[in-house]
Amino acid sequence: MKLRQIEIFHAVYVTGSVSAAARVLNISQPSVTKILRYAETSLGLSLFERTKGRLVPTEDAHELFLEVAEVQKRVDQLRRASRNLRFGQGRTLRVSVLPSLGLGAIPDAVTAFLAKHEGVSLELHTAHHDDMVRKLYERETDLVISYDVPSTAPVGFDVLGTGELVAVYKPGAIQCDAPRMPLNALEGHRFITTVKSGPMGNLLSEELAQTGVMLNDVVSSQTFFVAAALVRSGAGVSIVDSFTAQATATPDIAFKPLQPPIPFNVYAIYLQNRPPSKLATVLLKHLKSAFQAYRKFL
């Protein structure tokens, strides 16, 4: 099948009609019908049957769609990458960050960076771990700021700083005079768990398994910011990253690093064949300074 035939077949299969496919592709209905019939002739297969005014895919069409969907996905990715290359030129940096890292250190770094670089614009995108490599491949972003470096992707990275997991709680809710909070001090309290929050959740889950500490999970949050907000509202205690804790710190919420410590790195990730530009390198220096300043509060 030619690329145009694949596109037409995919659109008709997904929308269920020639007219809807024509609208999606912004072409005429006769053009859709003609190309679809030519595809059927070329393949020697009947792909659709008309039933009650709709085109119903045949069994052959269902089998073919499994292959075509992947091809169409790659074509769409190529188009997005091309568009982003076209519009991403100039003095614009695009940075994708985890929600938990976008609250304090990164805004501080961006402010310092822009103060010294008039005319430069920054696009900040929040993204989750599963989307970050795709965003790099599709040219949606130049840099990814993350807790984890994908081991199977051709990426390079710089270490921007370090952080720790910390306990967050209402003042007076937990009696602990030590500078660090033992994990077992959280036992018996209503716990807002973050064990499903990517690499940081995995670190916490492993530590709980090793120490044998059993926590009373009452709420599950995939976002550290939400977990901290729940603590502030009195829903329970939680464990979040130190950057979220510092960025959301108020008189009605307290935090302490854990004992034993659960440290982690913060990385700037980029494609190996697209290393940071000179402008991006300057931004990375500001990010390192900002993360170092936040580290001093622990």
pTM: 0.66
41-86 per-position pLDDT tens digit: 988 989 998 887 678 899 999 999 988 888 888 888 777 666 655 5
What percent of the chain is predicted at pLDDT more than 90? 38
Residue 115: pLDDT over 60? yes
- For position 76, what pLDDT does the model report? 80
- What is the pLDDT, as a whole number, of residue 165? 93
Q: pLDDT digits over 116-149, tens only?
A: 887 777 888 887 777 788 888 888 888 999 888 8
Residue 86: per-residue pLDDT: 57
Q: Average pLDDT, stretch 219-241?
A: 91
For residues 293 and 288, what is the distance between their CA atoms, to the nearest angstrom?
A: 9
Q: How far is CA 57 from CA 43, 66, 79, in A?
A: 15, 12, 27
221 pLDDT higher than 60: yes
Better pLDDT: 249 or 23:
23
The per-residue pLDDT for 168 is 95
Tens digits of residue pLDDT in 140-185: 888 999 888 888 888 999 999 999 999 999 998 998 889 999 999 9
Strands 155-169 and 254-259: antiparallel
Question: What average pLDDT is seen over the chain?
Answer: 86
